[in-house]
Every structure is written in structure tokens, then in C-alpha cells.
Amino acid sequence: MTQLDELEFDNVQIDQHGPIAVLTINRPRALNALNADTLSEIAQAVNMIIEDAEVGALIITGSGEKAFVAGADISEFGDLEGVYDGRELALAGQDVMHQISSLPIPVIAAINGYALGGGLELALACDVRVASTGARLGLPETGLGLIPGFGGTQRLPRLIGTGRALDLILTARQVRADEALGMGLVNYVADNALTKAREVAEAMLKNAPIAVSLVKEAVRRGMDTTLEGGLEIEADLFGMTVATKDFREGVDAFLNKRPAEFQGE
């Protein structure tokens, strides 16, 4: 089988270190802006990563020190001619963000610089966000006469609340990493976002993979339903974890005061 880090893309790079895959958006000349080709390559890369049973966590980052992703590629906006084109672009971006947000493994955004527009929306599709000290985050679309179209109007309020989300979107202002941390927009701030993201991934990888995956499913499905419906989902998925070998292993390891060795079964 082809090794993940042997795959060749123009605008995306994959590196694999043991169970951690790092997907780097690599268009530094345009501050890693998401043009159509890059979006399509991200989708292909994510498909390949998920087929690799060795990979237990994915980190998404941007190349260089300046930008994570500075948004959708504005130079391609001139080709958009009307309602239909705009809707198609939004749906194409939303598909890729949905593909990422529904992965069964933890996905961490290592925000190493500007995360604007589609860049912040990409980070919002990840499970956890780590920002470098100098990162700047924002949804500047209204300043371009647009609204966020890759999930920003939906995922941002779900993450930080309606009032904060509307403030950020309507002012189109950029927030610094420390402010983003204060409002829960990012989980961690570190001098080196990628190093910290690896630490977070390693902590997650110590836990039972099926349980980790089902937590993601419970949270994701639960956010789209009522509390009552969400609790039913939780009970069903809890039941599934009780049927795993890893549950037996976790309990046995605790009772025998030894580290658990999970097999993902």
C-alpha cells in the first residue's frame, strides 16, 4: 500500500509519524488560501488518511509561519456569476468541512497564523483548535459583500454562542489568540501550535479508539437534536462501548493497577 507521506499533491502535504497524520495546506504564496484545487486535494487526502488503519489522529495546519489558511481564494471569486455559482461554491466547501467534521478519529487544527474566512471555517470543522501565540482569527466575509459560506454561520455560534459569533461575523474583526482562548474559540495557545497539537493528539491516542470515535458521534449527533434525543443517542453508544474488548481491558487494567493496552476492538 502507498505510504501516506509518499502521496503527491500540488497544494497539500501529508506527513505521518506513527499514528498521527499531519495534513499541511501548502500554498504559501497565497497564504494557503483555499482555491478549488486545494479544496479538492484536501478531500482526496482526507479520504486516503481515513482508509489507513494505522492513523489514529489527524492534525491540520498551514505551511509557513504567517498563515494557517487566509480564507477561500478571492482571486477565483471573479468567476462567480450568480446565485447558482455562489451556492455551488458554498456547498463544495461545506462538503469538505463536513467530511472533516465527521471523521471517526480526533482532528486537531494547529493554527499557526492567520485563520480567516474559510480558514477559520476549516478550523471550526476540527474537534480541537490549538493557536500559536501570534495567530489571528476572523470571518471577514461581510467586508467582501458575502456571508461565511463554508459553515461559519452555523458552527461558530454552536461553538461560542450566538452573541459572540454575531459580534465576530458582523464586525468582521480579527481576534488574537489570547482573546480567542477567552471566548472558547480555541482550546489552547502555544508558542508552537504544531508541537502542542501533537501533545494533544498523543493524549487522545492513549484512550480507547472506539470510545473516542463514539464520543465524537454522540456529541455531533446530539448537537443536532433535543436534550432528550441526545441522551438516547448517548445511551445507545454507551451500550456499544460496553460490548467492546477495550472496555474489559480498561476495567481490568484499572483494577490491576497497570496501564491499559487498547486494541480498538
Active-site annotation, residues: 121, 141
Question: 215 is written with which cell numbers?
Answer: 464520543
CA–CA separation, 168 and 183 (whole Å):
11
- x-marked contacts with ligand COA along 10-49 as a string, rule CB under 6 A: --------------------xx-x----------------
Question: What is the footprint of ligand COA within residues 141-200 (CB under 6 A)?
Answer: 141, 144
Stretch that binds ligand COA, among 8-16, 139-147, 189-197, 242-250 (CB under 6 A): 139-147
User: What CA–CA distances, in Å, run from 200 to 33, 86, 264?
Assistant: 26, 37, 19
How far is it, in rounded angstroms, from Cα 210 to Cα 216? 10
How many beta carbons lie within 10 A of that of residue 12, not counting itself?
25
Q: Is 90 in the site for ligand COA (CB under 6 A)?
A: no
Give yes or no for a contact between 158 and 97, defined as CB atoms under 8 angstroms apart: no
Q: How far is the CB of 146 from ligand COA (least distance, A)?
A: 6
The answer to whether residue 121 forms part of the interface with ligand COA (CB under 6 A) is: no
Q: Are 45 and 2 in contact (CB under 8 A)?
A: no
Q: Which stretch binds ligand COA (CB under 6 A): 82-90, 140-148, 157-165, 194-202?
A: 140-148
With beta carbons less than 8 A apart as the criterion, state whether 52 and 105 touch.
no
From its phi and psi, is residue 87 left (phi > 0), alpha (psi between -120 and 50) or beta?
alpha
Q: Which one of residues 41, 73, 121, 246 is an interface residue with ligand COA (CB under 6 A)?
A: 73
Q: Does residue 106 interact with ligand COA by CB under 6 A?
A: no
> Per CB under 6 A, does 72 bind ligand COA?
yes
What's the residue count for the chain? 265
Min separation Cβ 37 and ligand COA, Å: 13
The radius of gyration of the chain from alpha carbons, rounded to an integer in Å, stands at 19
Question: What is the smallest separation between the CB atom of 90 and ligand COA, expressed in angstroms?
Answer: 11
Q: How far is the CB of 32 from ligand COA (least distance, A)?
A: 8
Rounded to 5°, angle at Cα 210 from 208 and 216? 105
Residue 114 found at the interface with ligand COA (CB under 6 A): yes
Q: Which positions lie near ligand COA, rule CB under 6 A?
A: 30-31, 33, 70-75, 114, 116-117, 140-141, 144
